[in-house]
Amino acid sequence: MNWRMPSETHPHERTWMAFPHEGPVLGGSEESRTKTYGAWADVANAIADFEPVAMLVDPSELRLARAMLSSEIELFETAIDECWLRDHGPTFVIDEERPGQLGVVDWVFNGWGAHAWSRWEHANQNAGFVADLVRATRITSMMVNEGGGIHVDGEGTVLLTETVQLDPRRNPYADKERIEAELARTIGSTKAIWLPRGLARDYADFGTSGHVDILAAITSPGHVLVHVQTNPEHPDYEVSQQLHDVLSNATDAAGRQLQVTALPAPATLRDEEGFVDYSYVNHAVVNDGIIACGFGEPTSDARAREILEAAYPGRRAVTVEARHIFAQGGGIHCITQQQPRVDAA
């Protein structure tokens, strides 16, 4: 078999998500619970305007999910302990040698490095659960990895971060050669572009230690969007400059030097916890559309939509409020996972 992870711009069969359930993401207050349920539902309902959505729902949350989600969204009952589906759920691949064959890579998930608060007993079952639902071939991996820790162009290039896959809390015996070999086997990558680190906030206790999907996104072969913090008062000012330089000097699997487009951060620098990691790079590409993160800044949000629509010609960008998702440790891309159409060219 010759598995390959397609680009996120490849036509989708549907988007998968997981409805929030009791745990760290709901927070300790009723206000936080209400905002979390609402944020996940808003993203799902926005995507449903463009393409089908499938939602994993814990049996205890089924009634609430039915009340908050569009009737067009299909619900699948299963035990849930994490709702960041891109990270713990399936990574979809297609078989280059057998048209129409869908695969699911089932990574090992250990709660972003086995934090004291992490929960993953049920999360590690969800990739296999989805694989069975869609009748996909399950490709097991012994590598600890999360879907938000990789980004591909569909032609062999993968972006990843040294502080994620090489994290000793995830893969204590790994080196770049071993990681690249496993990615070649599972997602068909032939060229890895290693970024040195992630955004500052992402190294806090509830962070991922540098997921790439908040840093950069390949919009088409040879073209990449990169998060840029323009305010020198923010610690990510220097970080984003470094990332921009690395990407600008990188070549992809086809030998092309990357063309880099800056996607500026919103103006907000802090919340009650410190410097924010608000990033428009953490968007979800859907059929004919883009679900963009909104940060309560009309001018910055509109500028981001314009840049995203230019980067993905023919797609319409819509903004969904994302500040509460970011407060919980991620963004819109982190809670969604695209299933490619296997009959698409």
CA 45 to CA 241: how far, in whole Å?
Answer: 35
CA 305 to CA 290: how far, in whole Å?
Answer: 9
Strand order in the sheet with 289-294: 284-286, 289-294, 316-321
Look-up of token digits 């990188």:
250
| Phi, psi at 247, each rounded to 5° | -70, -40
CA 140 to CA 110: how far, in whole Å?
Answer: 15
CA 254 to CA 256: how far, in whole Å?
Answer: 6
Quick count: other Cβ atoms within 10 Å of Cβ 30? 9
Triad 338, 66, 87: Cα angle to 5°: 30
CA distances from 7 to 112, 140, 214, 220, 252 (A): 24, 21, 17, 8, 14
CA 53 to CA 193: how far, in whole Å?
Answer: 31
Q: In whole angstroms, what separates CA 201 from the centre of its chain?
A: 17
Please state the three-class secondary structure of 14-83 as a single string: EEEEECCCCCHHHCCCHHHHHHHHHHHHHHHHHHHCCCCEEEEECHHHHHHHHHHCCCCCEEEECCCCCC
Active site residues: 334
CA 26 to CA 20: how far, in whole Å?
Answer: 7
Q: Please give the radius of gyration of the chain, using alpha carbons only, rounded to the nearest integer.
A: 18
Cα torsion through 48, 53, 56, 61, rounded to 10: 20
